[in-house]
Amino acid sequence: MPDHAHALFGSLAEDCDFKRFVKMFKQRSAFHHKCRCGQKLWQDGYFDRVLRADEPTLDVVAYMLANPVKAGLCTDPHAYPFSGSSLYSLDELCDAVAARPRGNWQP
């Protein structure tokens, strides 16, 4: 998305510090962006949403994959260059989303 980012993160330990993670992510990515482009990358603050145990993760993935299509940036999630996962291929994500029971998840 040209004006915002969607990301889905899972923690590996009970004592993970999400605020610290976001601060470090924004700091490091902003530094490299400013060095390359000379412009500020992030606005102050962010919006986060914690998924509860009863909320299907695939509904969130479906929302994220559909977002650039709904915004008119592409006609298919495979065509959006910034979709992806460090754990699954884009085909695996799209297949899993297509096979799930439909939910109405909204941020």
Q: Provide the residue ranges of all domains of the chain, joining segments of one domain with +.
A: 14-48, 51-107
pLDDT score for 4: 87
Q: What is the pLDDT of residue 101?
A: 82
**Weakly modelled stretches of the chain, pLDDT under 50:** none
Count of other CB atoms within 10 angstroms of residue 105: 16
**Which pLDDT value is given to residue 11?**
86
Residue 42: Cβ-neighbour burial (10 angstroms; 0-12, 13-18, 19+): middle
What's the confidence (pLDDT) of residue 17?
A: 93
What is the reported pLDDT for 107?
Answer: 67
**Rounded to the nearest 5 degrees, what angle is found at the Cα of 60, between the Cα atoms of 73 and 62?**
50
